[in-house]
Structure 1
Amino acid sequence: MATSLTTARPAPTAKQPRNPISRKQVERVISRSVAVIGLVFGAQTLPWLLGQTGEAQPWWLLTFVPALFGLLIVVVVASFANRAVRAMHGTFAVVCFMALVSWPFTVLPDVEVFSGIHWLNYLITVATAMAAIAFSRVIATIYLFAAPLVYLVVRSLPVGGDAPWQLAVLEAFYALILGSAIMIIVTMLRQAATNVDDAQATALRRYGNAVRQHATEVERVQVDSIVHDSVLTTFISAARAYSPDAQRLAAVMAGNAIGHLREAAATSPDDISTIQATDLAQRVVTSAELLASNFTCAVRSVGARSLPAAAAEAVHSAAVQAMMNSLQHAGGLDVERSVEVRGLEGNGIEVLITDTGTGFDLDHVPQERLGVRVSIVERVANAGGRTAIASVPGAGTQICIQWPHNNLSDEISTLIDPAATDPELVDGDDVGAATVTDEAEGEQ
């Protein structure tokens, strides 16, 4: 017994290219870099801090020194953990600015202030860099100029060391230059990453449109081939329709071909609508009754399951094509024919078309005949289903249509005599070939 088992196989997996740099990745790299650099600058500040601890109020030192250096460590941890990154960077920038503003008011009276660089000067650059990460561009720019300006004013006062204005400007300008460089780099990297994200999104959108257009073209080609075969078959049947039954069959076939054209015009590959399995079963039964009066129809355990409209249409069209093939090639009214629709586990559905007619050898079907290969097998496979065809010349044919393909049962009931020949697996699939059991025969 020649058996064909066909399924829609997934595309072969291949190593995917790495994703391009995104805005999130750039933000992660920038925040970690600034956090580590801030820790280094904080370590450089310690010698200057230890030499100036006797100038300020103890409460001020106990408030801001642990806060600033503790926040430097917290920022590093948050950046590498990718948690509350902007909040921690922004907190350090605010605390550093508060320390700058309160610095001149906490200097001890009658204390000789160190005339060199104040220890907060080393943290201004770190604070401006963290402000660029935490705040918007406008706020970060205001902070960039405000922090060095406050340092310039305080540095020129007696409480700030009474530095000459040239030296105060130089120190403030140095902090401004470093902060500006970091902010420019951060802004450029962010803009570049945003452009990459936008380009990637545009490319994906265009690719999606191209895929949909390609799917539409593929669907049109498939419909063209199916309708072409259906029309040719209809013409041949009409030319040979001498009896009333043959004329009625030709009329039904013509109506089905016209229906394919209408459905192709109204259906989109993106259609996500669903159809109840009971409606599909009723359509199959109605089609069987229209085609011939000697089809025995049965619907079993369909339940309340549903399936996509495209899959339902593929199953119905393939079932109709199988029934028409039986009427055209299996024999006359003396041939027993049956159609059974039943539900499967996992929201699946199965349609069995069986006859006891002349049968055929599947391996000797001409390639130009599209009724089995395209109208049944490939149509169901393209919809995500599976088709099994069992036929023995002189004994009969059974076609099993199942959707989805991963819900195929291992056993196909049939009326074909199992002693005629042994089943043979054609395409090497891992599911066993259709076999015949006494229990299956009894169910029929």
Structure 2
Amino acid sequence: MATDTAAAPQVARSTEIDHSAEERITRLIALFVASGYVFYLILLAPQIAAQSQCVHILWTIGAVAAIFAPPAVFGIAAFRRRFDVMRAAAAASVIGYILAALSWRLAWDGELIPTNSFWVADIPGLAGLVAATVWPPRRTIIAFFVATLSSLVPNHSGRTPDHSTPVLPDVLFSVSFSLLFVAAALMVVRAGRLLDETRVTALSAAASAASSQARTVQRQRFNALLHDWVMSTLLAASKQGNSDAVRRQADITLTKFDDDGRDDEGYSVAGLLAHLRIALNAIDDTTPLTWTVADDGDLVFPGEVVRTVTAASVEALRNSIRHAGPTATRDVSIRITTAGFNLTVADTGVGFDVHKVPPDRLGVAASIVGRMQRLTGGAVDVDSRPAAGTAVRLSWTRS
């Protein structure tokens, strides 16, 4: 029996898996669109003031509030990750713009203005972008076309004849100019959603791989029992016949098979170490395993706990072999107590910055961190820094 080995340098702590890709992309687009509204409000301010002379002042105040206030709430909600508020603000932005454009004629005093466009007709695409951020494609496209058609009301009612243009070219230009951006926003959000779905599939595959690995380890243990006990017992029986020694050996063999069949109920200390050693040796049989049992007694550990921690330690060792570098040395140590156990996979390799690991790197996020976080009583700590090695600490505490 040996003592624990020293851990590698520790400077950083692993973080939980970040929010979904769809949420991150949605927030970025929402902040971009909200900034666009602020930019257009500043840009259109002189035009709003000049064109307010031909409509009732209350309409101008109400239209500015209806068109620009909800997007401000939309941007703040995106910054604070309030997706429920974002959806409500998006609906208010689209409806506010459509109502403002359609109600323009009610507030108009009948005076024609020599202008190429009324300010309210310049930004139907922003309403479509807001919708694309949180709504499905069909609803977004409908909202965009309704907003675009609504913007024609002031343009084809209040302009002087020398500034008027045919309706069809106006519609085609407005649609073609803005639809590209709306479609791009829809595709970017969809890409984030597909990335999340792919990630969920990969996590499921990782869980299946862990289950398969557990079955492989169990099969190896069974093969070892067959070789070490069943075959030796049969060989002894063929030479010694029905002797007392052969009967005792047969009883021991049956007892070992009974103990192996109870692994789902729990692992003894020896069973835990055997399970761990077999799994690690399947990856690299040169990495030493050292252990310390701090308390004497007949300790039993749940089978699910042993298999989960073993699978996570195997992934940590596999990552070390892949990324630590050709000159790195590795060791695995475990300290067992009545309260649980602590297992460390350490190396002296190149290390990495744990805060810069992308969430789609499933070796860390799913196979190590996610697996241990789903285990009741489980905990994980990934300590590393560039050029100073890595230590992955896995622990389980009885509840």
TM-score using structure 1 length:
0.53
SS in structure 1 at match of 2:66:
helix
Q: Does 1:78 align with 2:82?
A: no
Two-structure CA RMSD over aligned residues (Å): 4.6
Between the aligned partners of 1:384 and 1:218, the Cα distance in structure 2 is 13
Distance 1:50 1:154, change over 3 A: closer
Give secondary structure in 1 for the equivalent of 2:54.
coil
* 1:97 and 2:93 matched: no
Once the two structures are superposed, residues 58-107 of structure 1 have per-residue CA deviations (whole angstroms, 9 ceiling, x without a partner) of 22223222333333432322222222222212211110110001000111
Does the aligned pair in 1 maintain the 2:66–2:100 contact within 8 Å? Answer: no
- Displacement, 1:8? 12
What is the Cα deviation at residue 153 of structure 1? 4.3
Asked whether the 8 Å contact 2:233–2:246 carries over to 1, the reply is no
State which drifts further: 226-235 or 65-74.
226-235
1:216 match: 215
Amino acid at match of 2:99: M
Name the residue aligned to 2:41.
Answer: 42
Letter in 1 for 2:113: V
**CA gap 1:46/1:349 in 2 versus in 1, 3 angstroms:** farther
* Match runs of 1:111-122 below 5 Å: 111-122=111-122
Q: Identify the residue that residue 140 of structure 1 maps to in structure 2.
A: 140
d(CA) in 1 for partners of 2:8 and 2:206? 18
Select between 116-125 and 89-98 the one with higher mean Cα deviation.
116-125
User: CA shift at 1:217, angstroms?
Assistant: 1.0
Q: What displacement does 1:145 show? A: 1.7
Q: Which amino acid aligns with 1:125?
A: G
Pair 1:310–1:10, CA change in 2 (3 A): farther
Partner amino acid, structure 2, of 1:351: D
| 1:186 corresponding residue in structure 2 | 185
- Quick check: 2:148–2:174 contact (8 Å CA) kept in 1? yes
Work out the CA distance in 1 between the residues paired with 2:187 and 2:71: 25
Give the CA deviation at 1:117: 1.2
- Change over 3 Å in CA distance of 1:116–1:247 after alignment to 2: closer
Bigger relative contact order (CA 8 A; separation at least 6) = 2
Is 1:107 matched up with 2:54?
Answer: no
Are the structure 2 counterparts of residues 258 and 117 from structure 1 closer, same or farther at C-alpha, using a change threshold of 3 Å?
Answer: closer
Query: Which of residues 255, 266, 270 in structure 2 aligns to 1:310?
Result: 266
Counterpart Cα distance in 2 of 1:86 and 1:143: 14
2:341 to 396, 406, 415: 406
1:338 equivalent in structure 2: none
* TM superposition shift of 1:49: 0.3
Aligned to 1:27: 26
Which of the pair is proportionally richer in helix? 2
* Matched position secondary structure for 2:100: helix
Identity across the alignment (%): 20
Per-residue deviation, 1:194: 2.7
CA distance in 2, matches of 1:402, 1:135: 54
Q: Is the 8 A contact 1:7 1:381 kept in 2?
A: no
Contact 1:38/1:72 (CA < 8 Å) preserved in 2?
Answer: yes
Query: How many equivalent residue pairs?
Result: 290
Distance in 1 between residues matched to 2:65 and 2:49, nearest whole Å: 13
Letter in 2 for 1:196: L
2:92 and 2:307 map into 1 onto residues whose CA distance is: 58
**Cα distance in structure 1, aligned partners of 2:233 and 2:267:** 24
Are 1:350 and 2:297 matched, yes or no?
A: yes
Q: Deviations over 1:184-207 (max 9, x none)?
A: 101221232233223323333223
Shift of 1:51: 0.5
Cα distance in 1, alignment partners of residues 188 and 268 from structure 2: 51
Q: Which has the larger radius of gyration?
A: 1
SS at match of 1:120: helix
Residue segments in structure 1 that go unaligned for 5+ positions in a row: 272-308, 319-344, 353-379, 386-400, 408-444
Alpha-carbon spacing, 1:27–1:71, altered in 2? closer, same or farther (3 Å): same
Q: Distance in 1 between matches of 2:338 and 2:127?
A: 63
The CA deviation at 1:120 is: 0.3
Deviation of the 1:137 alpha carbon: 1.6
| CA deviation after TM superposition for structure 1 residue 349, in Å | 8.9
Q: Specify whether residues 402 and 46 from structure 1 end up closer, same or farther in structure 2 by C-alpha distance, changes over 3 A only.
A: closer
Alpha-carbon contact 1:227-1:257 (below 8 Å) kept: no
Residue 202 (structure 1) aligns with? 201
Distance 1:15 1:404, change over 3 A: closer
Structure 2: distance between partners of 1:315 and 1:228: 18
1:350 is paired with a residue of what secondary structure? coil
Residues 72 and 205 of structure 1: CA distance in aligned 2, closer, same or farther (over 3 Å)? closer
Superposition TM-score, scaled by structure 2 size: 0.59
After superposition, the Cα gap between the structure-2 partners of 1:9 and 1:218, relative to the gap in structure 1 and judged at 3 Å, is farther
Kept in 2: contact 1:311–1:383 (CA 8 A): no
**Contact 1:78–1:85 (CA under 8 A) maintained in structure 2:** yes
